[in-house]
Chains A and B, each alone.
Chain A
Amino acid sequence: DAKTTQPPSMDCAEGRAANLPCNHSTISGNEYVYWYRQIHSQGPQYIIHGLKNNETNEMASLIITEDRKSSTLILPHATLRDTAVYYCIVRVAVLYSGGGADGLTFGKGTHLIIQP
């Protein structure tokens, strides 16, 4: 899997948009960008993923640059409950003979702290 680079920590004011950057300059054409977050002592929570188009769901928006070498996760109105470690992951599509793919490779992520 391609490696990703994220800032170790970021602050954001409550109610403002939180923009979390991720660099993945060696991403291949068949690799997706995934975002997860992890609140202390809990399992990671899936947020969103995309290949080359921008994506939006009820939690966040994912903006992928045209060259796919970087992306930004946007939490539109951050709340205190959004304080967590956010992981940006690129995932190669490796098809197992029975269908499916291998697991995700997690780095250290960005510790996002929402300030009241």
Chain B
Amino acid sequence: GAVVSQHPSRVICKSGTSVKIECRSLDFQATTMFWYRQFPKQSLMLMATSNEGSKATYEQGVEKDKFLINHASLTLSTLTVTSAHPEDSSFYICSARSGNGNTIYFGEGSWLTVV
């Protein structure tokens, strides 16, 4: 079964609104989670690294004020896309490092469509 769960799997929102995506580690504590973005037929690009109890580390070119990441507990990280724009439409995938640190598991992904 899945060890990392994302919710929602699909979301449609209007331009200018905000949408929150949750990433939960099941059965293990994840001090570090990762958020990726994937455009159709392309590879995954890391957006940010989320550390429990501290600020996320964003990759170059990713707007931290637009993509808010909160990692308030050892099993939950959230990504909030603020003032969403149609160009933000994409597949967002989170991952979490396993409790023993030797594997990274991915969530099922979340399709975001901004209309």
Q: Check if A and B associate.
A: no
B residues at A contact (CB < 8 Å) = none
